[in-house]
Amino acid sequence: MEASGGKILSRLAFRWLPVVFWMGIVLGIGTSTAIPTKDGDVLRWLVRKAIHVGEYAVLSFVFYRALAPGMRGFCPGRAWLALLFAVAFGGLDEWRQLFIPRRSGQLTDVGIDAVGAVLGQVGVWVERRLLSRWPHLEVRL
């Protein structure tokens, strides 16, 4: 019985550790002032917003993978849930940034995070379509 409990725990860890790891990355980036903003600097603004999109695309993707282990097809309900979790985390991160010196929480950034989260689910959908057509591409972990 204990071996079974250990196996369940390791499966849960394997599913959710990437989510927790990536959330840590997002929080670290959200604390960083490595790319400072300067008024009128469009290129810096675009880079910062592209980072938001990328962060939340990956977060949404790994949330889906954690919520739908072993599912071969695309599950819209799990995709919506992953999207909701990613956007909620984006909102919490922006709120947290209100308390960090030289940072500010922006509602528009939550919207940009949502765009990234949607793109993450598009990535999941594409992955699932490819695996349904070419199952030999699937990597079993």
Q: Mean per-residue pLDDT for 14-28?
A: 93
Q: What gap in Å lies between CA 127 and CA 48, rounded to an integer?
A: 27
Q: What gap in Å lies between CA 90 and CA 79, rounded to an integer?
A: 16
What is the residue range of 38's domain? 2-137
Minimum mean pLDDT range among 24-28, 76-80, 98-102: 98-102
pLDDT of res. 71: 78
Split at pLDDT 50, 70, 90, the class of 138 is low
pTM: 0.85
**Closest of 80, 87, 70, 66 to residue 121, by C-alpha:** 80
For CA atoms 96, 29, 103, 50, the dihedral sign is negative
Q: Mean per-residue pLDDT for 113-131?
A: 94
pLDDT of res. 121: 97
- What DSSP assignment string belongs to 10-52? HHHHHHHHHHHHHHHHHHHHHH--SS---TT-HHHHHHHHHHH
Distance of CA 24 to the CA centre of its chain: 11
**Residue 141 pLDDT greater than 70, yes or no:** no
Report the number of distinct structural domains present in the chain: 1
Residue with tokens 């765009």: 115
pLDDT of res. 32: 73
Convert the pLDDT of each residue in 32-46 to its tens digit.
766 666 677 888 889
Convert the pLDDT of each residue in 67-84 to its tens digit.
998 777 899 999 999 999
pLDDT of res. 95: 93
Split at pLDDT 50, 70, 90, the class of 1 is very low
